[in-house]
Structures are given as structure tokens and as C-alpha cells.
């Protein structure tokens, strides 16, 4: 189902965050005041990052979400424009601050973050009943940084319209049984897989076992295992593993979003799941090895 320009459409319903990223030698421990080297603002939110990644992968990316009428919101809307994302369905909300996060990244490129959801919690599920956001959509992408009622409304509309639904279940949380039944592909990292019932994921073999276990409740599952790679399994028993490409890691911040957005774009173009996962894995490798902003 292409858009008027002939490109498949990926519809992303989800979060938008103004990120503040702090670089430090190490992540602070409890009660520790760590000294950082520098900080800089960054466009974020899993939804926003995934929409930009999908657009970069060559499809039409459309975003449904919310920001506040504040400086952070202005920053986020400008970044969507710069990323060539259709943001006609991003609502500006009075009386709520835009979503934001603070992330601390250590010298090895690993990070920890805290989010404040703000306007993301005020997305109206009724927005998804409108036909306009769905025009030409081939794939719907969801995450867990917005209320579950929004995800449920979006997934129900997608199923009604015959559109494939991807859920990047991050951060991990209990899922409504109805939402589980509407998800065509679950994407989780090692920590999220364990929180959803997998055994600990430490390598590709345990990632595959985790994907197998989770596929009892979902049509298809991908478990990403960071530098190890990924594993996938379907409820029909099809399965594969894919080692990660070796790169020098600059920052892992946003790598999962680069993977998910690129995967959605490849699936929207008609690629089989294994091929789409390989394309997305390469995009994530490029993302983690990209130079940090000057």
C-alpha cells in the first residue's frame, strides 16, 4: 500500500523526547556524584527515533504523538522535519511539558537513562480512529513509552485494516492480553526478554531460546542481544540467528530504535523477516559506530 509518491508508509505511534546526553567515564552508582565530560541535546523518544530511522531507510515515515507547547516541543518538531518525517498527526498540547530524558553514557558507549513522559501520556486514542493517519500504511510500529490504551487502539485499527503491527516492548511492562493477540512481531532486547519471561540472555543460543519461549504468546519474536547479534522465532516454528557485525562502538544510545525503524521499513518494502533483520542489524551497527556530535 504505497503513498501517493509510490513509497510504502510506516506509521509510528509513540513517544517523542528531548534527550539530554551526558558523557562520563562511568555510570554513577547509588549515592555517587559522578563528574561528566560534556553534555548535549539530542532528538529522542523511541517513537521519534524509529520514525526517523524508517525515513532514513527510504520509506515514507508518519508519526502520531504529542508534544507540549514549549521549547522542547519546538525542538522535537523541527527534528522531525529535518528527518523528513510526516508529523501532521503530532499534536501540540497546552498545559503539559514535552517528554524528555537524561542519559549518562560511559567511556565504553553504554548508557543508562531516565525519562519523564510529559505530553506523551496525553495522546488521545481517538486520534487513531481517523482514516488519515492510516492512508497508505503498510506497517504500524509501537513501543511502551505511551499509555497502553493508545497502543491497544492503534493495534486494533491496524488489525481491522490488515496492517502488520510491530511492538518494540520497551520499557518492559505487563501487556494486556488483547494487545498480545494484535501484535504480529514482538521486538525485545535481552533485558526486556527476561522481564517478559525468558531465561537470561547472554549469547545467541540463549537469545534463540528466549525467542522460542516468547513465541508461545506472539506470532513472531526477535530478541536482540547487543554485540552478540539477534535471534528470531515464529509461532510456526521458523527460526534463525544473526551474528552482529563487529564495529568500534562510539555510543549504543538509540541503537535499538535504529534497528526497529529500519526493520519496519524493510518489511514495508516486502522483505522477508530474515532479510529485513539483516538490513536492520547493519543499520544498528552503523548507528553505534557513528562519530559523536562535535
Active site residue ranges: 257
Q: How far is CA 2 from CA 131, 184, 267, in A?
A: 15, 20, 13
Count of residues for the chain? 294
**46-56 and 71-82 helices, crossing angle to 10°:** 20
Pairing status of strand 229-234 against strand 220-224:
antiparallel
Neighbours of 242 (CB within 10 A): 20
Q: How far is CA 165 from CA 184, 215, 278, in A?
A: 5, 15, 19
Looking up cell 561528566 gives 36
Number of H helices, E strands in the chain: 8, 13
Q: Where are the alpha helices (DSSP H) in 57-175?
A: 71-82, 148-160
Reduce the secondary structure of 28-80 to three states and give it as a string.
Answer: CCCCCCCCEEEEEEEEECHHHHHHHHHHHCCCEEEEEEEEECCHHHHHHHHHH
Q: Is 10 helix (H, G, I), strand (E, B) or coil?
A: strand
Helix (H) or strand (E) holding 215: none
DSSP tag of 94: T
Amino acid at each position: 500500500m504505497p503513498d501517493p509518491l509510490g513509497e510504502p508508509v510506516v506509521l509510528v505511534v509513540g513517544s517523542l523526547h528531548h534527550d539530554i546526553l551526558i558523557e562520563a567515564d562511568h555510570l554513577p552508582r547509588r549515592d555517587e556524584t559522578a563528574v561528566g565530560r560534556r553534555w548535549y541535546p539530542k532528538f529522542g523518544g523511541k517513537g521519534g527515533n524509529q520514525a526517523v530511522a524508517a525515513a532514513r531507510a527510504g520509506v515514507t515515515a508518519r508519526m502520531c504523538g504529542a508534544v507540549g507547547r514549549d521549547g522542547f516541543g519546538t525542538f522535537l518538531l523541527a527534528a522531525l522535519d529535518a528527518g523528513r518525517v510526516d508529523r501532521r498527526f503530532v499534536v501540540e498540547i497546552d498545559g503539559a511539558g514535552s517528554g524528555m530524558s537524561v542519559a549518562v553514557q560511559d567511556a565504553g558507549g553504554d548508557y543508562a537513562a531516565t525519562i519523564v513522559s510529559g505530553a506523551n501520556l496525553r495522546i488521545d486514542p481517538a486520534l487513531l480512529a481517523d482514516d488519515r493517519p492510516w492512508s497508505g500504511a503498510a506497517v504500524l510500529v509501537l513501543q511502551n513509552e505511551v499509555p497502553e490504551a493508545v497502543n491497544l487502539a492503534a493495534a486494533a485499527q491496524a488489525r481491522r485494516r490488515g496492517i502488520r503491527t510491530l511492538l518494540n516492548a520497551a520499557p518492559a511492562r505487563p501487556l494486556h492480553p488483547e494487545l498480545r493477540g494484535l501484535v504480529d512481531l514482538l521486538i525485545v532486547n535481552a533485558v526486556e526478554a527476561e522481564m517478559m519471561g525468558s531465561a537470561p540472555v547472554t549469547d545467541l543460543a540463549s537469545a534463540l531460546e528466549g525467542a522460542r519461549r516468547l513465541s508461545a504468546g506472539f506470532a513472531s519474536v526477535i530478541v536482540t542481544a547487543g554485540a552478540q547479534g539477534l535471534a528470531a522465532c515464529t509461532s510456526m516454528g521458523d527460526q534463525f540467528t544473526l551474528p552482529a557485525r563487529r564495529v568500534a562502538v562510539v555510543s549504543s544510545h538509540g541503537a535499538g530504535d535504529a534497528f526497529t525503524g529500519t526493520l519496519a521499513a524493510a518489511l514495508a518494502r516486502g522483505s522477508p523477516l530474515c532479510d529485513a533483520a539483516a538490513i536492520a542489524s547493519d543499520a544498528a551497527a552503523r548507528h553505534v559506530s557513528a562519530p559523536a556530535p562535535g
